[in-house]
Amino acid sequence: MKDQANKSKAAKDKRAISNKGATRLQKKSSVGFTSLPGAVASLIPLWLVQSFFVIGLLVAGGWGLQQVRWGWPVEQVEIEGEFRYWQAQDLAKQLLWVKEQNFFSLDVRQVKYELEQLALIKSAQVKKVWPDTLLVKFKEDIPIAVWNNDALLNPVGEELLLPGSFNQVGLPKLSGPEQKTAQIMRQFQRFQSRLSAVDAVMVSLNMNAVGSWQIELENGWTIRLGRQQLEQRVERLIELLKILPQEKVAVVDLRYGKGAAIQWLPV
């Protein structure tokens, strides 16, 4: 009886141990299924994670950059140069459109082009100055004569636009065929250089269609030079300016040999 009781007790202990083992297996299986997502994540390469991170940064950065580009206007326009004919406020008005532009997208080449199309602007330099300023440096053309009453000429005979409000007082008037502009300018400079020796000032020079020249002087004289021997005839004029009563002469015609025909003012 005692041996049978011992066997019965041993069987119960074995079943208990067996049941405990089943419980452990069940818990182990449960833990295994819970940690499965972590195990899958550990299989994703690190470079792929980093790539997604970098792409995210680029997208966010690009969006931010677009916001800056769209919302960063030019606030100031600074103008530097020597003002002879333009007034600072008038030139600034020509650049009002710039203040509507974005600092980053504004094309400085376009601004330069627009400025150099203006009358009497010879050249312009344009650059951006951080954070919101456009700096403009310019040079004006220097007109030395009015050409055919509707344009100006610079010292090399290039035509310049004549501004509507331009004050022409003091500038000589040159006229002649359009294709002779440079030639007429050169001749004007030669004549004036010689006449300045006797303080004579030219107020106009004309070359007609057949190439005949006529000068108007500040003292009121009209000088007819003709087409030939121009330098010699100007030298003769200089001698006459020294000896004739300037207030009494109307016309000096130098087209005749080595002499001159004088037309006097009426008494």
> For residue range 7-17, what is the model confidence (pLDDT) as tens digits?
455 444 444 43
Buried b / exposed e over 218-230, threshold 16 CB at 10 Å, is eeebebbbeeeee
Give the pLDDT score at 85: 86
pLDDT at 72 over 60: yes
Predicted structure pTM score: 0.66
Give the pLDDT score at 25: 35
CATH for the 76-140 domain, from 3.40.50.170, 3.40.50.970, 3.10.20.310, 3.40.640.10: 3.10.20.310
| Domain segments of the chain as ranges | 2-70, 76-140, 145-264
Alpha helix locations (H) across the chain? 2-34, 36-41, 46-70, 88-93, 108-116, 181-195, 230-243
Please check whether residue 202 is in contact with residue 192, taking contact to mean a CB–CB distance below 8 angstroms. yes
Q: What is the CATH number of domain 145-264?
A: 3.40.50.11690
pLDDT at 67 over 60: no
pLDDT at 28 over 60: no
Give the pLDDT score at 162: 84
pLDDT at 60 over 50: no
Q: What is the mean pLDDT of residues 18-34?
A: 38
How far apart CA 34 and CA 155 sit, in angstroms, is 93
173 DSSP β-pair partners: 146, 204
> For residue range 171-230, what is the model confidence (pLDDT) as tens digits?
999 999 999 999 999 999 999 999 999 999 999 999 999 999 999 999 999 999 999 999
Q: What is the mean pLDDT of residues 239-247?
A: 97
Q: Which residue has the tokens 């109307």?
A: 250
pLDDT at 89 over 90: no
pLDDT band at 241 (very low <50, low <70, confident <90, very high): very high
Please check whether residue 212 is in contact with residue 180, taking contact to mean a CB–CB distance below 8 angstroms. no
Give the pLDDT score at 17: 39
pLDDT band at 42 (very low <50, low <70, confident <90, very high): low
| Burial class of residue 97 (count of CB atoms within 10 Å of its CB; 0-12, 13-18, 19+) | exposed
Q: What percent of the chain has pLDDT over 90?
A: 62
Give the pLDDT score at 236: 97
